Amino acid sequence: MTLELLVEIFLGAASYWWLILIATTVGIIIGAIPGFGAQNTIIMLLPFTLAVPVEMALTFMVAIYVASHMGSGIPAILLNIPGTGGAAATTIDGYPMAQKGMAQQALVLTFVASTLGGFITSFITIFTIGYLAQIAFYLHSVEMVVIMLFGITLIAVIAAKDPLKGLISGVIGLLIGAIGADHIYSAPRATFGFLELYEGMPIIPALIGLFAISEALVMLENRSMLSAEGRERMLKAGWRETGEGIRMALKRWTHITWTSVIGLVVGAVPGAGASIGAFVAYQQSRLYSKTPEAYGTGHPEGIIAPEAANNGVASGSLIPLLVLAVPGGTTAAVMLVVLSYHGVPLGPRLFVEDPGLAYGVFATMVLSYLIMMVTILPMSRYLSRVTLVGTTILAPIIIGFTLVGAFSPRAYIFDMGVALSFGVLGYIMRKTGYHVVAMLIGIILGPLLEANFMRALRLSGGEYSVFFGSNIGNVLWLMLLASILFPIYSNWRRKREREARG
């Protein structure tokens, strides 16, 4: 990478600033509506991306893609409804912070963490893409099993206050995640004859039900989603709160950096997604925090970690597409179709024949984040006012919108039924002290864990020793063990210190 080329790619990307502005705005909106992801939008706009020059098509797709990751955090904070699975972990601290009347600060934390995390990781990618692509050569099924387990241990963290209920929620989630065709023989399991469940429990409708609909039902029990003190604070909020949010975020820039790098590494593995990146980053963030008990109560770092990570995943997930010609996720798969149509030579040849286009993807990302920083930050003041809207108005709107969102990814009426069923289940869980996030972790990560587990076993001919047969895997196992034992040791030590102090 020469300086001349670097300047050239940034100038090239900057010439499409107007398109990035449009695409990031569209991306933030679709990311904020549960059920409407970047993938669907890019598919809908295929005729446009096929008709325009490839640079323009790629700029448009990349900007929409990164913006949708950022947009998904908005409803997670304001309404406890993640726009995508990648923002599910954001609800754990984002919504409690909003309930305290600090929605504006929480949104600013999200925006700064997302833009800064995405900015840092896309910049890192420009200079290290060759090395990052190597991650896919070392993290295979066995290693992915351990990485999934990092995310799944979050269930225990969430269940800290009531381990039995947390465990029950997580296990039920894992069982729900096991519905559908098995990963080896494609034979349907536990579908109860519903064709719509053959591919597994649809994540988006389940997420919408567990979070959006159940939250709307809970909301209706009160006139406002805010506490009295929180409402008071929100009514007085102005630009000062935006500034406070920026300060809170910038003070934690190192936290943003390392959690976004977790996302980048996870994203560089083909098939891993934003949900895994965000859950693992949240778990790691809490593990190394000096105040782990503050997580779940509206802690800034609990917002920063998943948001920086899911934007890091956005940078990482395009690496396999460009370097190996293998799309790392569903949105990247649609991009592959567009790039193939335009005759772009993907894989190592791309970096030789057309380095401008290859690196230009990440230059576009960097610029997208810069533009979003300018456009979205001032909006947080106004977006946060949503929390002041009466619940009798808000709840029906949420239910209506999200039911359409549940329908849209697959166009099955059945999925609206799934969302409503999970809505009722989520409501009962909330009222009885069971944690919906623990269940969602099971539903999202369960099938991925099972797929990698079964694959590793098949590769080894059924030998369980395969899980301890790779050096990287063994290091990851030790890290996992440490991340489980470390909090236990810390608690024990704190308890001892308290006792010693009398």
CA 468: distance to chain centroid?
A: 29
β-partners of residue 180 are 189
In our burial notation (b when 16+ CB lie closer than 10 A, e otherwise), range 224-245 reads: bbbeeebbebbeebeeebbebb
Output the six-digit token pair for 244: 């406070």
- Per-position x/- string for 122-141, each x denoting binding to another protein as judged by CB under 8 A, each - no binding: --------------xx--xx
Min dist CB 409 to another protein, Å, is 11
DSSP codes of every residue in 367-381: HHHHHHHHHHGGGHH
Unique residue bearing structure tokens 């679709």: 30
Residue 185 binds to another protein (criterion: CB under 8 A): yes
Question: Applying CB under 8 A, does 316 fall inside the site for another protein?
Answer: no
Least CB distance to another protein at residue 366 (A): 12
How many Å apart are CA 72 and CA 78, to the nearest integer?
Answer: 11
Min CB(332)–another protein separation in Å: 9
- Cα-Cα-Cα-Cα torsion 301, 159, 81, 272, nearest 10 degrees, comes to 70
The verdict on 360 binding another protein (CB under 8 A) reads yes
Of residues 190 and 485, the one with the C-beta less far from another protein: 190
Please identify which residue in 6, 22, 29, 54 interacts with another protein, judged by CB under 8 A.
54
Binder of another protein out of 1, 167, 220, 324 (CB under 8 A): 324
Q: CA-to-CA distance for 387 and 241, rounded, in angstroms?
A: 15
8 lines the binding site for another protein (CB under 8 A): yes
Measured between alpha carbons, how far is 458 from 300 in angstroms, rounded to an integer? 43
Question: Smallest distance from the beta carbon of 486 to another protein, in angstroms?
Answer: 31
Q: Using CB under 8 A, which residues numbered 141 to 180 contact another protein?
A: 141
417 binds another protein (CB under 8 A): no
CA-wise closest residue to 376 among 124, 50, 27? 27
d(CA 236, CA 227): 14
* Shortest spacing between CB 333 and another protein, in angstroms: 6
Question: What single string gives the DSSP state of each residue in 65-87?
Answer: HHHHHHHTHHHHHHHS--SSGGG
> In this chain, which of 3, 393, 411, 413 binds another protein, going by CB under 8 A?
411
Return the sign of the alpha-carbon dihedral for residues 383, 158, 189, 139: positive
The distance of closest approach from Cβ of residue 212 to another protein in the complex, given in angstroms and rounded to an integer, is 25
Q: Given the rule CB under 8 A, which of 83-91, 164-172, 231-239, 337-345 is the region that contacts another protein? A: 337-345
Give the residue with the Cβ less far from another protein, 93 or 143: 143
Cα–Cα distance between 268 and 283 in angstroms, integer?
Answer: 19
| Interface stretch with another protein, choices 153-161, 187-195, 215-223, 286-294 (CB under 8 A) | 187-195
Name the site residues for another protein (rule: CB under 8 A).
Answer: 8-9, 12-13, 16, 43, 46, 50-55, 58-59, 136-137, 140-141, 181-188, 195-196, 198-199, 270-271, 320, 324-327, 333-334, 336-337, 340-349, 353-354, 356-357, 360-361, 363-364, 411, 451, 455, 458-459, 461
